[in-house]
Amino acid sequence: MADHTYDVLVIGSGPAGESAAMSAAKSNLRVAVIESRAHVGGNCAHKGTIPSKSLRHAVKQLIRYNSVSLFREMGDTRWLSYPRVLAAASKVIPKQVELHTEFYIRNRVTLHTGMASFVDANTVNVDSGDGAQETITAESIIIATGSRPYRPADVDFSHPRVYDSDTILEMQHTPRHMIIYGAGVIGCEYASIFSGLGVKVDLINNRDRLLSFLDDEISDALSYHLRDSDVTVRHSEEYESIEADDHSVTLRLKSGKRLKADAILWCNGRSGNTDKLNLEATGLDVDYRGNLKVSQDYRTSVDNIFAVGDVIGWPSLASASFDQGRAVASVITGEPCKPVTNVPTGIYTLPEISSIGQTETELTAARVPYEVGRALFKNTARGQISGEDVGMLKILFHVDSLEILGVHCFGAEAAEIVHIGQAIMSQSGAGNTIQFFLDTTFNYPTMAEAYRLAALDGINRINRR
């Protein structure tokens, strides 16, 4: 049994754990990371963000090949199987692992491979699974163990027709018809992926509209485009039972409906990875989803134990997890903590969706006098040239001060485009104004032109009053 002592011990090597470890190491602290998987990168690189975005990219390329008339001179439209697209998409994972492994080497962060469990508030046992055990002590411990798909006990996930967002990355055939249960971000993204491959999709939503945190117009646009891609969205439904046999899977809904398909993808929620940590040894409690509660500076109720990333719940994004990791390292090194707020939304459906700031519904409820400036991608030169002309940029701004209050976008590269608006919104005082887009010369033709068009549209609406 080996013993090690560090200033900071991080459990988990996803975006939250990695950025906490690298930040602490750069402040000359002795840092170690424990990771149960053989490779670093977390669920982000192996099961979540990276494989799903890579799959979606491959599908998008296929759709493009099949829809652009110029390519017809090279041959007929093509169909690719899910395993084939998956194989192409999976190539990015080892590249990610290599990239992230280098960070540990360069920053002299020691990596221990095995399952971590607490012995006490400063001591963690690492079980490598082959009988070897290590004991590690550290002054500060950061829990960054992430999350996994939530699996209700009455659904048989061992059946080869029943998948969740982890096991779908092992599916070795292409269903003709798929049910996606849960229309959160993961469900909507996979609905785009499978419908893009020509799979008939039934998307079951527990709520009465898709992604209800989005601006209504954007949510409606997503519904329209999913329908247009042969996805049947069923709102306000809940499952009664899921039964699978050799030939099909049957989903019974509480409303009395019965749906049959070749496979079902369960996308209804996630649970924090805390069950293996032996938290009893520290006195820490978790909520019913296995998540830890932290204060503004990411400290748990035990003074030297911190938690960041998916294991603390909302917003459960890789983007936010990276920043939470850096923030917690600054707390440990005694610097002021910058809590991670104002996180943009980037949803990689087809079409892509992204937003920052308030929605029309929120502004109306708060009685803020606002105006809307819109630009349709089909009216931009870049959109017309690229053929990616489905989409819209919408800027919400205060009618008196012209302060930008929200930016909502759907269409090609929406997740990139939103950052221009975010940069202006983050300017203090009079720096945050829609006027910026009228006073600044942008490259042409670019999708950024949509900001100028939207600003002109908005200002013209005010001038017409």
Ligand X SMILES: Cc1cc2nc3c(=O)[nH]c(=O)nc-3n(C[C@H](O)[C@H](O)[C@H](O)COP(=O)(O)OP(=O)(O)OC[C@H]3O[C@@H](n4cnc5c(N)ncnc54)[C@H](O)[C@@H]3O)c2cc1C
Check the annotation: does 53 bind a ligand: yes
Q: Which of the stretches 12-20, 296-304, 381-389, 406-414 binds ligand X when contact is defined by CB under 6 A? A: 12-20
Least spacing, CB of residue 337 vs ligand NAD, in Å = 22
Give the Cα separation of 143 and 12 in Å (integer): 7
Copy the structure tokens of residue 412.
Answer: 């090609």
CA dist list (Å): 287 to 149, 293, 294? 16, 8, 12
Residue 267 engages ligand NAD in binding (rule: CB under 6 A): yes
Each residue 114-143 as x (binds ligand X by CB under 6 A) or -, in order, gives -xx---------------------------
Among 8, 10, 17, 268, contact with ligand X (rule: CB under 6 A) = 17
CA 464 – CA 437 distance, rounded (Å): 19
317 touches ligand NAD (CB under 6 A): yes
In this structure, what DSSP letter does residue 157 have? T
| Phi/psi at 424 (5° precision) | -75, -40
Backbone angles phi, psi at 94, to 5 degrees: -60, -30
Whole-number Å distance between alpha carbons of 413 and 396: 20
Q: Does 185 bind ligand NAD (CB under 6 A)?
A: yes
- 186 marked as part of a ligand binding site: yes
Residue 385 CB partners (closer than 8 Å, separation 6+): 445
How near is the Cβ of 444 to ligand X at its closest, in Å?
A: 30
Q: Is 345 in the site for ligand X (CB under 6 A)?
A: no
Q: Does 309 bind ligand NAD (CB under 6 A)?
A: no
Which of 181, 306, 348, 410 is in the footprint of ligand NAD by CB under 6 A? 348
Name the residue whose CB lies closest to ligand X.
Answer: 146
Pattern 291-320, ligand X, x by CB under 6 A: ------------------xxx----xxxx-
By CB under 6 A, residue 234 contacts ligand X: no
Residue 130 tokens read as 């082959």
The percent helix, strand, coil of the chain (3-state, each to 5) is 35, 25, 40
Q: What angle do CA 315, 317, 319 make, to 5 degrees?
A: 120
- Residue 179 DSSP label: E
Size of the site for ligand NAD (CB under 6 A): 20
Site map 401..430 versus ligand X, x via CB under 6 A: ------------------------------
Token digits of residue 428: 């203090």
Residues 6+ apart with CB under 8 A from 214: 222, 345, 353, 355, 359, 408
**Nearest to ligand X of 37, 151 (CB atom):** 37
Question: Minimal distance in Å, beta carbon 332 to ligand NAD?
Answer: 26
CA 118 to chain centre: 29
Terminus-to-terminus CA distance in the chain, angstroms?
Answer: 77
Q: Minimum CB separation from ligand X for residue 397, in Å?
A: 27
On the CB side of 148, CA atoms within 13 Å amount to 12
Which residue's CB is nearer to ligand NAD, number 122 or number 273? 273
Residues that bind ligand X (CB under 6 A): 11-17, 34-37, 42-44, 48-49, 52-53, 115-116, 144-147, 165, 186, 273, 276-277, 309-311, 316-319, 321, 346, 348
Residues that bind ligand NAD (CB under 6 A): 150, 182, 184-187, 189, 206, 267-271, 289, 315-317, 346-348
Q: Binding site: residue ranges?
A: 53, 145-147, 182-189, 269, 310
